[in-house]
Amino acid sequence: MLSVMAKKTADDDLLAPVTLAVGQEDLLLDRAVQGVVAAARAADADTDVRDLTPDQLQPGTLAELTSPSLFAERKVVVVRNAQDLSADTVKDVKAYLGSPAEEITLVLLHAGGAKGKGLLDAARKAGAREVACPKMTKPADRLAFVRGEFRSFGRSATPEACQALCDAIGSDLRELASAASQLVADVEGTIDEAVVGRYYTGRAEASSFTVADRAVEGRTAEALEALRWSLATGVAPVMITSALAQGVRAIGKLSSARGGRPADLARELGMPPWKIDRVRQQMRGWTPDGVSVALRAVAEADAGVKGGSDDPEYALEKAVVTIARAARSRGRG
């Protein structure tokens, strides 16, 4: 099932000669591929699917894969990370775009940046069906994704339930999609916050956002306890640094914004109104210098958990302590 986040063309033909999936969100890219493959196999159960990486698609390979067959079989050729194709292979692909073969669907997965832009432009010019698969970096986007997941199953979930699920699971779309699917399978009727709480209380307590909330509130001991529990239950360190960064940036954004109603500030800062109220409570004690110190601590921790430190857990503990101290900087002024 294609995500509601996928941008559809006016004529969204899953069996169009060329589909261009653009972005860096792996789940959405995979769904774009799955949608095409499912449509092809619905038309022909014996459809041959070739899923290739750039190193597997050498000059001449595409011509071999798309050459006429005696059996006129339907085929789906998937090219991942198309932005990394060699110059000679790009020429092959561009030539193919000008005259695509019948019964063959080419699916190009492209990160969408400047690298390999010539191929991206050529596919668009050739009229490729395009599916947008953007990385969801904003909490509001992930919240919309969760709502869309429930809608795609024909089920109703309250706004509070969707938010609770995001808070409990974090930023991984695959985990969010899996959690939504599990709730739909197990729960009858409207899915509410209480249901999410029953299923994911342990995850919520151990979530990266709990660590971040306690840290920006200056509650050092509780933040460290939540951190250790998160790591013990398998939460990825990069999710924790991401949550810490979001928490500190929210403090910085709101502290530099002019006063106003939560709804107005929400539009200005790109946060949901409930988040404005929460951050307002958390920002007591923060100073501009404190925000700067905390952001540096997050950056150091992020580098540490991504390979720059021999002890990622220590890097996270150090960041949590620094952020919690920064949260109380006004009181020590």
- Supply 137's token pair: 């970096």
Residue-wise over 277-293: b if at least 16 C-beta within 10 A, else e?
ebbeebbebbbeebbeb
Q: Is 64 exposed, middle or buried (0-12, 13-18, 19+ CB in 10 A)?
A: exposed
For 13-26, how does the pLDDT look when each residue is reduced to its tens digit (9 = 90+)? 899 999 999 999 98
Checking if the pLDDT of 11 tops 70, the result is no
Contact 207, 171 (CB under 8 A): no
Mean pLDDT taken over the chain: 85
pTM of the predicted structure, to 2 decimals:
0.58
For 81-100, how does the pLDDT look when each residue is reduced to its tens digit (9 = 90+)? 999 999 999 999 999 999 99
For 250-264, how does the pLDDT look when each residue is reduced to its tens digit (9 = 90+)? 888 888 776 666 666
Specify the residue for token string 């775009």.
97
Specify the residue for token string 């899953």.
14
Secondary element (H or E) of residue 227: helix 220-232
In this structure, the number of other CB atoms found within 10 A of the CB of residue 194 comes to 12
* Residue 191: per-residue pLDDT: 94
Checking if the pLDDT of 272 tops 70, the result is no
**203 — phi, psi (to 5°)?**
-65, -40
Checking if the pLDDT of 228 tops 50, the result is yes
Checking if the pLDDT of 273 tops 80, the result is no
Q: Determine the average pLDDT of the residues in 32-44.
A: 93
In the chain, the domains with their CATH numbers are 18-133 (3.40.50.300), 139-200 (1.10.8), 208-327 (1.20.272.10)
Cβ contacts of 32 within 8 Å, gap of 6 or more: 2, 6, 19, 21, 107, 109, 131, 133
Please report how the helices 237-256 and 288-303 are oriented relative to each other, as an axis angle in degrees rounded to 10. Answer: 160
* Residue 258: per-residue pLDDT: 60
- End-to-end CA gap in the chain: 55
For 128-186, how does the pLDDT look when each residue is reduced to its tens digit (9 = 90+)? 999 999 988 888 899 999 999 999 999 999 999 998 888 877 778 888 898 898 889 88
* Residue 189: per-residue pLDDT: 92
Checking if the pLDDT of 314 tops 70, the result is yes
